[in-house]
Each structure stands twice: as C-alpha cells, then as structure tokens.
Amino acid sequence: MIAIRKLTDLTAKERDALFQRFGDDFTGIMVNSVIPIVKKVQSEGDRAVIEFTRQFDGVELSRVCATENEIEDAYHKTDADIINSFKRALDNIREFHMHQKRDSFIYTREDGTTLGMLYQPVESAAVYVPGGKASYPSSVLMGVVPAQIAGCKHISIITPPTKDGTIAPYIGAMAHMLGVTTIIKSGGAQGIAAAAFGTHTVPRADIIVGPGNIYVTAAKAYLFSQGVIQIDSLAGPSEVLVIADEHANPHWVAWDLLSQAEHEEMAIAILVTTSESLARKVITYIEEDINSKRGRHEIKKQAIKNARIILVSSVEEAIDFSNTYGPEHMEFMVENPLQYLTQIKNVGSLFLGAYAPVAVGDYFSGTNHVLPTGGAARFSSGLGVETFMRRTSFQYLTPSALKEAVDHVSKMSSVEGFDDKHGDSLRIRFS
Amino acid sequence: MIAIRKLTDLTAKERDALFQRFGDDFTGIMVNSVIPIVKKVQSEGDRAVIEFTRQFDGVELSRVCATENEIEDAYHKTDADIINSFKRALDNIREFHMHQKRDSFIYTREDGTTLGMLYQPVESAAVYVPGGKASYPSSVLMGVVPAQIAGCKHISIITPPTKDGTIAPYIGAMAHMLGVTTIIKSGGAQGIAAAAFGTHTVPRADIIVGPGNIYVTAAKAYLFSQGVIQIDSLAGPSEVLVIADEHANPHWVAWDLLSQAEHEEMAIAILVTTSESLARKVITYIEEDINSKRGRHEIKKQAIKNARIILVSSVEEAIDFSNTYGPEHMEFMVENPLQYLTQIKNVGSLFLGAYAPVAVGDYFSGTNHVLPTGGAARFSSGLGVETFMRRTSFQYLTPSALKEAVDHVSKMSSVEGFDDKHGDSLRIRFS
C-alpha cells in the first residue's frame, strides 16, 4: 500500500516532487472569472454580491449581511455542550495569542536623535470561513481571536450562506460567542471583493485572512497585488510530516497520519522514521483502518495514496528533510524532543513528543490552525496577533542631531542624483 | 500654481481620488510578458537570464553573478568620503534595526501544556536594487541590514547591470561594505525569477524584497501568488504628507515638499495645514524654486503638479485625514508633536517636529526607507527585521493535559464532520 523508501534512494526528481509542491497556477481563473467578478462588485456593490450569490450558489439573499437576530438565534440553537467545548478552546487560544502581543518602543541616541516603532492594529479585518459541504466553527476562532487581541476595531466574517440563505448555525454561534456582529453571507470571489472594497452594507476591510477555494485564493491574490488589501498566505492542501524514532508507538503514529488523511482527498501525510520496523507496523495499522471502512472512508482511502514513508539513518537527517520540506504541521515523536528545538526550521506548527497529536492543536491547545502550506512555511507564518498588526517607525531630532547629518545626507543623496533639495531640505534649517 | 482647498469643500469624488490611489493593474503585463519570462527562467536557468538581459537591456553578460573581484574593485574605486558617510548611516541603521529583534517564548500552563513560539530567520533572502538611470546604494543598506540582523544565512542582491555588463560601482561598494558576495546582474522579471527558483549559479531565495519597475512588481506578485516566494509590499510612487500648524516654518515646509517632488514625476506631496497664511507662503517659496530652474527642474515641475494643499480647522482633523490617507512618509510639524503620537495611524515612517525632514530618514537616522505606498500603510509596514523572520508555534503536552482535551476535541471535530480519526488520535493514547 504505502511504499517504504530510503531517503538516500530517492532520485533528484522524486525529491523535487516532494519539496517543490507549489500551488495551482490560477492565472486563467483569475483573468477569466475572478477579475470580472471583483470589478462588478467594486462598481455595483451589494446588488452584484446578491446577483453572484444567486448565480453561483443558487441562493436568494434578501440582504448581504446576517442580522443580529440571526446571529443570536444561531447561538441559542446550538447544543450547550458543544458551546462549552468551544469556550474551553477559546480560553486557550486567547491565552496563547496574548503572549504574541508586542509593545511599541522608543529610545534616544546620545546625539539627540529619538527613534521608535509603533506597533498598531490594522483597523478593519475580515476572516473568510469556508462553508459548502461542512462548516468550520473552529476557523472562526482561529481567525477572529488574533484580530481581537491585536485590537482591530472592525472584524467581519465572510462565509457562504446555507441553501436557505441563512448562516451556518455553528458559524453564527461562534460569531455571537466572540461578539462579532458582521457576517457577510457570500463566499467566493464576490464575498472577498465585498469586504475588500466595502459596499453600502459591508464595512471595508484592510486585511482578509483565512483559507478558501481557488476563487477565494485568486481573489485574495489579485486584490493584494492591486494594493487594495493585505492577505495571509495562500491556502493549499493540508499537510503533516511525522518524525518518529524507534521509541514511538506505531499505532499512535498511524492514527495521526489517518487523522490527517481524514481532512480531504488532497491531504498530505508523510512519515520520516529511523525505524523500518515501526514503518511496517504503521502500514499494518493504516491498512486495518482503511479495510474497516470506518468514518470518512473514501476520503481517507484517496488521501492515503499520497502518503509517503521515508527511512532515514538519524533524527538529524529527519530534521534536515523536514527543514527542506517546510511542513504545515510537524509531529516530532522522538525521545527528548525539546533538545532538538533550535535545529528545527520552516515548520508552521510543531507538535513535540508522544502526547501532542495535531488534532489537539487544531482545536484545543491554543495554537493557531491557519498555517502556511505547500512549503510556504519556509517564508511565512500561521495566523497570529502579528498578522493583524502594522508598524510605524518614527523619529524626532534635536537641531544639533540634524546638523550632524547635513553633510552626510548631501553626499549620499548627490550620489543618487538628488543633488538639490534633499540636502537643502536639511541645510535650510540652519541658514 | 497649487490650489489651496478646504477639506470640507472637497467633494466625495475628490476625496476618493486622494484616498483610493491603488496601484496599476498589471494583469496584462503579467500574463503577456512576465509569466512567459518567469517560466523560461524556471526551466532554462542562467541561459534564459543571459538571453533576456541581452534582449531587454542590450547587455552581454558572460556570467549572471558578479565575481568577488568585481565587488571588491567597486569598493576600492569609491571615494573614501562617500564610503564614510554610508558607514555612518550604516551604524545608525544597524542600531535601530537591532531594537526590532524579538525573542522566542515558551510557557507552561497549569494543566501541563507547554506552548511557545520560535522566531526564526528566513534562510535565504534577495534584495532588489533598481538601476537604470541612477543607482541607489542607500537601498542596498535598507534591504540588506534587516536581513542580516534577522539572521538570514544567504543574502543576494538583484540589480540590473550597467551598459558594459559590470555592476553599478556604488552598489558593489555597498555590497562589499556589508559582506554580501552574491550580486545577480540582471533586473526585471528575469532577475526576480532567477532568485525565486535559483539557477546553476544563483542561490534560491525564500523572500524577495525591494522596489522595482512594473515588471519587477508583477513578477514578485505572480511568484508570491504561486507560493514560490514571500515578498514585501508592492511599490508605487513615493509620497509625503506634511501636517503643519501656524508655528511651522513655511520655507522649511516648501523645501521638504520639493525634496519629495525631486524624486520622480509621479511623486506625491501633500500639505495639510491649519494655517492659510502658511499655505500661501509655502506656495510662494515653491514657485520661486520652480522658477529658478535649479536642480532636477523638469522632474520637480512635473511632480509639483500633483501636489495638494488642504486647509483644516484643527490638528486633530489633519490627523484624521492622514489616518485615512495612509501616507508612506508623514512629517508632523506642529507644536508638541509627541503628545499626538498615539492618535496617528497608518503611516509608513513618521517624522516628528521641525528638525526631522524626510531626507534625514531616507539616508541617515536609522529608520528604513523601503515603505508601503498607495495607502498600503493601512495594512502593511516598511522593511524591518520582522520582514525576514518567520514564526513557528509549538506545543508539548503531558499525558494528563492531553486526556483533559479528549472529549472536547471529539465534540468539536465531529461538528465539523471529522467524526472518526480526529478524536480517536487522542483516544488511542489512553486505550
């Protein structure tokens, strides 16, 4: 079923296929579908959003945003037990994200130059929450909490409506729990465009985050490239890379890989291990589960075809592999995992030891689950408070500090062809 | 020459024209020119880079990267006085950027869950430095220093070659001063693509920063959207917004506005003032300068046509205007500027008081000059150490901490349709 391959046996081509898993080229979709949708929403506002929702989702919206009653009803209709679990998760998520806050700083140099940095929230944020086949209330928490802790003044949720034009109940319940009162009931490029430009009823967002389908991704990328909004990293299939040594429990490893496979057909599960014996046992457990046809059988069966098991000769070699791979999630099930902490790089979210399956971080422990995929962990990060902050550098100079700079600025700016007003704008202050 | 307008007299359309100054739609250029260039460089590497440089720049490169000798020669050929000024600036830039570093954190919750965040550098960075009509050695400092302080292992410079195929001397001198040994002598989309994918002679970059022409911008946006690289914000025309009250010196204000106009024909200079008398004097000084035909006369004359002077009734109203505008640079020339610090939002770099003209921050004081334009300061920040850092959240749980989570994770994941392996991946650890 899953082949066990030695890392050293992989061809260059096979390695490239693992490592260079870039996103889909959505340029065609962007040019042919997304840009016309975005431009129509920009010029016609709510009317265009309602029209596209009718056309693409077959849903007739009487208004683009959910009413406060609709949001409150969703909460009250939800089982108290479910609410309770999400509340516990919310406490943990809030606590972890509070640690990410950063204070502005200011200092004065001996020459009289005062310098500093203001860390300020982006004013208006929108969180895309996928709908369709299922709704993802946990993603509401993961998008909204960091924006709230950053201090964003306006926070909206963008999510497709259900078939009868209402909001998915769990999404509404989470919004109410968090105090979010704006839910844009329109998915796809039209929902993104509504938030990016604002409409008569939708507040304009400065940043739009959260994963969606290819239309959502293409709309976010296009509007970012136009300088209209900030975005988080672009979403691809979910990934886990498990590093396990001979001390790891193969049954647990198998279940963690299957938990990843359960997500979607395109999900990627990779085991990198120093133990061939462990690898064989993991395969046996996976086969048993697939043969049992339990749960989301078709999805798991399909996804597990993309799974890979790679044998390495040391934990260090496994870490090197992971550092190059840049996984969204990495489980590190080896003895004394903390001793390797500074060697591990390019991971979205890291799960250390035997008692940290990805599922606990997806929902409960407090870390964020909106993470970079497709190797983007090499250069980008999961959602966090910093995603919703911006920086402003500032400076204040005494006359003598500025005077000290006059000749230097004149020389440097002249070299770059600014031979008149750059230097003179300093000099004038002393003439 | 420049009309003085009361803020309250501006029509909604006039306000929109000021505030919604999005970038050019480069979709056509991207699809027709940039994507084919990028794909050819991806598949053919150095050969394609050399070919495109011949085709677009009329320059015959014998190799894509500058040799170490070429870089060292550039340094030794440069006037010691010039080097000295840049060295002084470098000290200041390093000092300010050192303050931006951030430590990783770790903490343990009472239930036995350990959580933390690793702040790690992106491994490989490339800095685009425009060439063409003039070269910008200061931009080498502004791009490379934050990457070095972040701790990037590989740092390259991408810059167009001079007509004889060598590097612009000041660029080479700065590279040598900073210890950067990789200079890709190719601009435009081909230079960006070479760094994004790597070639036989060019190291692959995880992040590419720095402003360039529309081909550079489109290539950066395209490669970002494909998940290949991280980028900084996309560059548009440079902007200054000056807020001045009746205590400000009109001659100084005029020179600062002209210093902005000196940059390029498209540069934007806006004065927002509480004093009509100051506004009239500023116009007189600007007219005198333009009539004198000093310096970069044609550029200043053209740019000053885009200048605006807006009258407001209070400093608070001026700040509100600036907060909505989101200027790249903001000079705040009022009495007691520091008292307003927390009211000011959405500024790239802020210059407080009478002795902080933009030019001193552009070159010398230590703040970065690669800043968001076109209103992007609403949601993005200038280059800084954080630009070159990424975050990895991590967690370690005790058995009892995980046990506490089992029921909650099962409930929450079931609601989202993951009714089998998500909960079971926790449960298996206790069976």
Chain B nearest-CA distance from A378, in A, is: 7
Q: Is B298 helix (H, G, I), strand (E, B) or coil?
A: helix
- A293-346 pLDDT, tens digit per residue, is 988 899 999 999 989 999 999 999 999 999 999 999 999 999 999 999 999 999
List phi, psi (to 5°) of A310. Answer: -125, 130
- Neighbouring residues of B353: CB distance < 8 A, sequence distance ≥ 6: A396, A397, B332, B333, B337
Options A97, A263, A329, A369, the catalytic residue: A329
Q: Which amino acid is at A400?
A: S
Asked if residue A133 has pLDDT above 80, the reply is no
Task: Give the whole-angstrom CA distance, residue A372 versus residue A390.
Answer: 20
Chain B nearest-CA distance from A154, in A, is: 13
Options B97, B263, B329, B369, the catalytic residue: B329
Task: Give the whole-angstrom CA distance, residue A285 versus residue B425.
Answer: 13
Minimal Cα distance from B259: which residue of A? A421
Reading the block at residue B218, the tokens are: 């489109």
Give the pLDDT band (50/70/90) at residue A25. Answer: confident
Q: Return the percentage of chain B with pLDDT > 70, whole number.
A: 100
Establish whether A408 is a catalytic residue. Answer: no
Residue given tokens 């990410």 in the structure block:
A100
Q: Transcribe B140-192 into DSSP letters.
A: HHHHHHHHHHHT-SEEEEE----TTSS--HHHHHHHHHHT--EEE---HHHHH
Chain A contact set for B282 (CB, 8 A): none
Task: Give the whole-angstrom CA distance, residue A424 versus residue B282.
Answer: 15
Provide the 10 A C-beta neighbour count for residue A288: 12
**Mean pLDDT across the stretch A398-409?**
97
Phi-psi region at B16: left, alpha or beta (left = phi > 0; alpha = psi -120 to 50): alpha
Reading the block at residue A313, the tokens are: 């000769």
pLDDT of residue A315: 98
Asked if residue B73 has pLDDT above 90, the reply is yes
Minimal Cα distance from B372: which residue of A? A227
Minimal Cα distance from B108: which residue of A? A96
Task: Give the whole-angstrom CA distance, residue A217 versus residue B304.
Answer: 39
**Mean pLDDT across the stretch B327-347?**
96
Burial of A381 (0-12, 13-18, 19+ CB in 10 A): buried
- Neighbouring residues of B216: CB distance < 8 A, sequence distance ≥ 6: B128, B130, B187, B188, B189, B191, B192
Whole-Å CA distances, A110 to A394, B120, B145: 17, 31, 22
pLDDT of residue B419: 77
Asked if residue A143 has pLDDT above 90, the reply is yes
> Do residues A245 and A354 touch, judged by C-beta distance below 8 A?
no
CB distance A365–B221 less than 8 Å? no
Minimal Cα distance from A24: which residue of B? B226
Asked if residue B358 has pLDDT above 90, the reply is yes
Range B184-198 burial, b when 16+ CB lie within 10 A, else e: bbbbbbbbbbbbbbe
Asked if residue B132 has pLDDT above 80, the reply is no
Reading the block at residue A395, the tokens are: 């400076």
CB distance A395–B365 less than 8 Å? yes
- Report how far Cα B212 is from the mean position of its chain's Cα atoms: 11
| Among candidate residues A398, A412, B364, A386, the one with its CA nearest the CA of residue B349 | B364
Q: For testing the chain B interface, which of A412, A413, A414, A430 should be mutated: the one with the most B CBs within 10 Å?
A: A412
Give 3-state DSSP helix, strand, coil % of chain A, rounded to 5: 50, 15, 35
Burial of A297 (0-12, 13-18, 19+ CB in 10 A): middle
CB distance A137–B412 less than 8 Å? yes
How are strands ordered across the β-sheet holding A349-352?
A4-6, A308-311, A268-273, A239-244, A329-333, A349-352, B389-397, B113-121, B105-108
For residue B311, what is the enclosing H or E element? strand B308-311
B370 strand-pairing partners: none
Q: For testing the chain A interface, which of B258, B385, B415 should be mutated: the one with the most A CBs within 10 Å?
A: B415
- A113-123 pLDDT, tens digit per residue, is 999 999 999 99
> Do residues B391 and B104 touch, judged by C-beta distance below 8 A?
no
Chain A nearest-CA distance from B60, in A, is: 25
Which domains does chain B possess? 4-23+236-366 (3.40.50.1980), 27-231 (3.40.50.1980), 405-430 (no CATH)
Rg of the Cα trace of chain A?
A: 25
What is the ipTM score, two decimals? 0.96
Task: Round the average pLDDT of chain A to a whole number and report it.
Answer: 95
| Among candidate residues A34, A190, A295, A153, the one with its CA nearest the CA of residue B323 | A153
Chain A nearest-CA distance from B97, in A, is: 10
CB distance A356–B395 less than 8 Å? yes
Asked if residue B145 has pLDDT above 90, the reply is yes
pLDDT of residue A235: 85
Give the pLDDT band (50/70/90) at residue B131. Answer: confident
- A206-219 pLDDT, tens digit per residue, is 999 999 999 999 99
Task: Give the whole-angstrom CA distance, residue B368 versus residue B348.
Answer: 9
> Do residues B191 and B158 touch, judged by C-beta distance below 8 A?
yes
Q: Transcribe A157-192 into DSSP letters.
A: EE----TTSS--HHHHHHHHHHT--EEE---HHHHH
pLDDT of residue A130: 92
Chain A nearest-CA distance from B175, in A, is: 16
Task: Give the whole-angstrom CA distance, residue A412 versus residue B137.
Answer: 8
Q: Return the percentage of chain A with pLDDT > 90, whole number.
A: 91
- A146-198 pLDDT, tens digit per residue, is 999 999 999 999 999 999 999 999 999 999 999 999 999 999 999 999 999 99
Asked if residue B36 has pLDDT above 90, the reply is yes
Q: Which segment of A39-53, A176-190, A329-343, B127-141 scores lowest on mean pLDDT?
A: B127-141
- Report how far Cα A174 is from the mean position of its chain's Cα atoms: 19
| Among candidate residues A390, A385, A389, A388, the one with its CA nearest the CA of residue A99 | A385
Whole-Å CA distances, B221 to A184, A224, B29, B327: 27, 8, 12, 22
- B92-114 pLDDT, tens digit per residue, is 999 999 999 999 999 999 999 99
- Report how far Cα A67 is from the mean position of its chain's Cα atoms: 28
B345 or B1, which is more confident?
B345
pLDDT of residue A147: 98
Range A50-80 burial, b when 16+ CB lie within 10 A, else e: bebbeebbebebeebbbeeebbebbbeebee
Minimal Cα distance from A231: which residue of B? B379
pLDDT of residue A153: 98
Whole-Å CA distances, A350 to A154, A162, A214, A269, A368: 31, 35, 27, 15, 11
For residue A22, what is the enclosing H or E element? none
Asked whether the CA dihedral A230, A157, A131, B395 is positive or negative, the reply is positive
CB distance B350–A392 less than 8 Å? yes
CB distance A206–B86 less than 8 Å? no
For residue B289, what is the enclosing H or E element? helix B276-292
**Mean pLDDT across the stretch B351-375?**
97
Chain B contact set for A115 (CB, 8 A): 96, 99, 365-367
Out of A22, A384, A402, whose CB is closest to B355?
A: A402
Chain A contact set for B95 (CB, 8 A): 109
CB distance A225–B100 less than 8 Å? no
Give the pLDDT band (50/70/90) at residue B25. Answer: confident
Asked if residue A19 has pLDDT above 80, the reply is yes
Out of B365, B397, B422, whose CB is closest to A262?
A: B422
- B394-425 pLDDT, tens digit per residue, is 999 999 999 999 999 999 999 999 978 899 99
Give the pLDDT band (50/70/90) at residue A131. Answer: confident
Out of A236, A294, A355, whose CB is closest to B402?
A: A355
| Among candidate residues A1, A152, A137, A151, the one with its CA nearest the CA of residue A71 | A137
Minimal Cα distance from A396: which residue of B? B352
How are strands ordered across the β-sheet holding A113-121?
A105-108, A113-121, A389-397, B349-352, B329-333, B239-244, B268-273, B308-311, B4-6
How many Cβ contacts (< 8 angstroms) between chains A and B? 410
CB distance B22–A386 less than 8 Å? no
- A338-377 pLDDT, tens digit per residue, is 999 999 999 999 999 999 999 999 999 999 999 999 999 9
Minimal Cα distance from A384: which residue of B? B391
- A232-246 pLDDT, tens digit per residue, is 988 889 999 999 999
Establish whether B328 is a catalytic residue. Answer: yes
**Mean pLDDT across the stretch B356-381?**
97
Chain B contact set for A348 (CB, 8 A): 392-393
Options A239, A328, A331, A369, the catalytic residue: A328
**Mean pLDDT across the stretch B262-281?**
95
Kindly report the length of chain B: 431
Asked if residue A132 has pLDDT above 80, the reply is no
Phi-psi region at A134: left, alpha or beta (left = phi > 0; alpha = psi -120 to 50): beta
Options B70, B176, B239, B328, the catalytic residue: B328
Out of B123, B391, B429, whose CB is closest to A382?
A: B391
Asked if residue B363 has pLDDT above 90, the reply is yes
pLDDT of residue A391: 98
Chain B contact set for A233 (CB, 8 A): 227
CB distance A402–B120 less than 8 Å? no
pLDDT of residue A20: 83
Asked if residue A79 has pLDDT above 90, the reply is yes
- Report how far Cα B276 is from the mean position of its chain's Cα atoms: 34
Asked if residue B1 has pLDDT above 90, the reply is no
Give the pLDDT band (50/70/90) at residue B427. Answer: very high
Asked if residue B22 has pLDDT above 80, the reply is no
Minimal Cα distance from A341: which residue of B? B118
Chain A contact set for B420 (CB, 8 A): 262, 294-296
- B176-230 pLDDT, tens digit per residue, is 999 999 999 999 999 999 999 999 999 999 999 999 999 999 999 999 999 999 9
Chain B nearest-CA distance from A46, in A, is: 19
Chain B nearest-CA distance from A391, in A, is: 5
Out of A118, A289, A425, whose CB is closest to B256?
A: A425
Give the pLDDT band (50/70/90) at residue A76. Answer: very high
DSSP state of B213: -
| Among candidate residues B231, B174, B178, B198, the one with its CA nearest the CA of residue B65 | B198
Q: Which segment of B19-28, B248-257, B324-333 scores lowest on mean pLDDT?
A: B19-28
Q: Is A6 helix (H, G, I), strand (E, B) or coil?
A: strand
Phi-psi region at B390: left, alpha or beta (left = phi > 0; alpha = psi -120 to 50): beta
Q: Which amino acid is at A255?
A: W
